[in-house]
Amino acid sequence: MTRPRAILVALLGILACAGGAWSQDGASFFRESVERMQKTSGEVGIQVVSLPSGQVMWEHHSGVPLVPASLVKILTSYAALKHFQPTYRFKTFVYATAAPRNGVVDGDVWIKSEGDIFFVTESVAALADKLKQAGVRVIRGGIYTDNSYFRPETEQVCLDERCDQSYNPVISATALDYNTLAFKVSPGARAGLPVRVEWSPPGDYVHLNNQAATGPRKSKNQPNLRSVGVTGDGRQRFHLAGKIPLNSRYAKEFRFHVREPASFFSRSVKKLIEAEGIEVAGSRSGKGTVPPNAVTLAVYESPPLSELLEGLNRYSNNFMAEMLLRSLGGYTGGSPGTADKGIAAVTGTLRELDVPEREVTLHSGSGLSRSCRVSPRVFCRVLASAFADPVISLAFLSSLAENGSQGTLRKRICTPDVQVRGKTGTLNDVVSFAGYVSGCGQGPVAVAVLLNQVQNRWEAREALDSFLERLPLNIESPR
């Protein structure tokens, strides 16, 4: 057995235990499972495929395209791995009009990314180190952010037009910390004093009107933090009111999408690289375009795509999925990257698997669209192809959630002798799953279950989990 295949076997737990087989009434099991799901959902689509043969073991309306919710991330990830390869690293560039002299950059700098899906606070420290290695100690000008690798340069992906919800990401090619701000509000030293407020990443992007006070012990009024617009110089206004008890043991936490990603990135990076020992003398910042005669001062490379996908799929990160879709579009269709180019790359990759065109309609990379329609058969084709591909199989499988252990399956299907690696999807009226199931020396099988028009999400999820937990794994059983 080759090493990649051996690792796949270990990940799936195929050798976990001995015994077990399809029961002779396998057909009854599937019929009863479908009936149970139909009691919770108006539309049910299922396919189960034996691996590595690809033989269909069981299916119910497997060719009907349904709303997949976050299962779309599987398609985005698969196409990205096929085009980029698992070792691909996203690059973020720092430019200036001239190289530093005696440690000084005499002018502004511009930062431009090709759509790094995981550029976070810690990445800025590594970027600052690259600048110091290039001899940069002082930047006389300001810091500007070039978001031209994507079009539009700033975009929010919203489900059901409810853009205020935290799961609707704000996208820009050059982004920091998922284009979000995290606040912590804690009591002051004594009652009556203003509350303490910290935010991350740091910087002067936040324009805070703090009207909240420290209340007496056991006071009930909690702080309320709101985003209330943008200043003329590109900062975001926040208003804080209410009280927090003096004896509060835990800080109250808030998270917001940023409204001006270029200003947010520039102002935050300035603060962070100054903390790393590089002086930034200029006060100007915000949106900018790299001049045609610019020279490259430093290049930061992300961790490999194989590692980044673990956060994307395992924890169903919408921001990372939408960033990846546009980065893929820029890579395959040329800059600027757009959602349409990314979708064309994904659907083109699926056509290579002989997927019927009528069974796939995509409008996002994350599944944040009810206009997306994908059949269970399409997901099983992708799962089977990824499993059989020695180049991407380990990265793809490792990115998925694991039952009873990691990600969105951490508290689900906790039966010891059943191993599940997969992706879940949930909307108000959608419950779905696509992934691999094995156990007791049998399997793996690829499974896709899509439930639409769900009346009770809890009951639908219970029916789905019961199906995966009890799924017969022996190909010899009749359908």
Give me the pLDDT at residue 387, please.
97
Distance CA 109, CA 277 (A): 16
Q: Dihedrals φ, ψ of 300, to 5°?
A: -100, 135
Q: Is the predicted pLDDT of residue 70 greater than 50, yes or no?
A: yes
Q: Is the predicted pLDDT of residue 339 greater than 60, yes or no?
A: yes
Secondary structure E strands in 61-179:
91-96, 104-105, 109-113, 138-139, 143-146, 155-156, 170-171
Give 164-221 as a DSSP string: TSTTS-EE-SS-SGGGEEEEEEE--SSTTSBPEEEEES-STTEEEEE--EEEPTT--P
Residue 331 near residue 115, CB atoms below 8 Å? no
Residue 326 near residue 339, CB atoms below 8 Å? yes
Give me the pLDDT at residue 436, please.
97
Quick: pLDDT tens for 354-364.
999 999 999 99
Give 251-289 as a DSSP string: -EEEEEE-S-HHHHHHHHHHHHHHHTT-EE----EEE--
Average pLDDT value for residue range 463-477? 82
Give me the pLDDT at residue 476, please.
47
Distance CA 88, CA 79 (A): 13
Q: Is the predicted pLDDT of residue 347 greater than 90, yes or no?
A: yes
Q: CATH says 3-87+305-470 is which class?
A: alpha beta
Q: Which secondary structure element, helix H or strand E, spans residue 230, and what is its range?
A: strand 224-230
Three-state DSSP at 355 gives coil
Average pLDDT value for residue range 296-303? 98
Q: Is the predicted pLDDT of residue 221 greater than 80, yes or no?
A: no
What tokens appear for 360 in the block? 């796939």
Give me the pLDDT at residue 277, please.
97
What tokens appear for 216 in the block? 């007496």
- Residue the block writes with tokens 């700033």: 154
What tokens appear for 295 in the block? 């020279």
Distance CA 205, CA 272 (A): 13
Task: With CA atoms as reference, report the closest residue to 170 among 330, 34, 345, 366.
Answer: 366
Give me the pLDDT at residue 203, please.
95
Quick: pLDDT tens for 107-158.
999 999 999 999 999 999 999 999 999 999 999 999 999 999 999 999 999 9
CATH code matching the domain that covers 89-303, chosen among 3.50.80.20, 3.40.50.300, 3.30.1120.130, 3.30.1130.10: 3.50.80.20
Distance CA 306, CA 164 (A): 31
Contacts of 6-12 spanning 24+ positions with Cβ under 8 A: 7/394, 8/387, 8/393, 8/394, 8/397, 11/397, 11/398, 11/421, 12/397, 12/419, 12/421, 12/436, 12/438, 12/443, 12/444
Three-state DSSP at 390 gives coil
More confident residue, 472 or 22: 472
Q: How many CB atoms lie within 10 A of CB 255?
A: 12
Give me the pLDDT at residue 4, please.
53
Q: Is the predicted pLDDT of residue 439 greater than 90, yes or no?
A: no
Q: Which secondary structure element, helix H or strand E, spans residue 243, and what is its range?
A: strand 243-245
Q: Is the predicted pLDDT of residue 62 greater than 80, yes or no?
A: yes
Quick: pLDDT tens for 150-201.
999 999 999 888 888 889 999 999 999 999 999 999 999 999 999 999 999 9
Out of 13-22, 109-118, 464-473, least confident range: 13-22
Q: How many CB atoms lie within 10 A of CB 55?
A: 12
Give me the pLDDT at residue 19, please.
41
Distance CA 237, CA 135 (A): 37
Q: Is the predicted pLDDT of residue 388 greater than 80, yes or no?
A: yes
Q: Is the predicted pLDDT of residue 20 greater than 60, yes or no?
A: no
* Residue 442, beta-bridge partner list: 439
User: What's the angle, vertex CA 334, arms to CA 328 and CA 335, rounded to 5?
Assistant: 90
DSSP-assigned letter for residue 388: H
Give me the amino acid identity at 253: E
Average pLDDT value for residue range 88-112? 97
* Band of pLDDT at residue 11, cut at 50, 70 and 90: low
* Band of pLDDT at residue 249, cut at 50, 70 and 90: confident
Residue 369 near residue 159, CB atoms below 8 Å? yes
Give me the pLDDT at residue 162, please.
84
What tokens appear for 347 in the block? 């659907």
Average pLDDT value for residue range 209-235? 92
Task: With CA atoms as reference, report the closest residue to 353 among 79, 66, 58.
Answer: 79
Pairing of strands 236-241, 206-210: parallel
Where along the chain do its domains lie?
3-87+305-470, 89-303
* Band of pLDDT at residue 93, cut at 50, 70 and 90: very high
DSSP-assigned letter for residue 101: B
Q: Is the predicted pLDDT of residue 9 greater than 90, yes or no?
A: no
Mean pLDDT of the chain: 93
Q: Is the predicted pLDDT of residue 479 greater than 90, yes or no?
A: no
Three-state DSSP at 426 gives strand
Give me the pLDDT at residue 3, please.
54
Distance CA 327, CA 89 (A): 12
Cα distances (angstroms) measured from residue 293 to each of 53, 98, 259, 300: 55, 9, 30, 20
Average pLDDT value for residue range 387-403? 97
Q: How many CB atoms lie within 10 A of CB 377?
A: 23
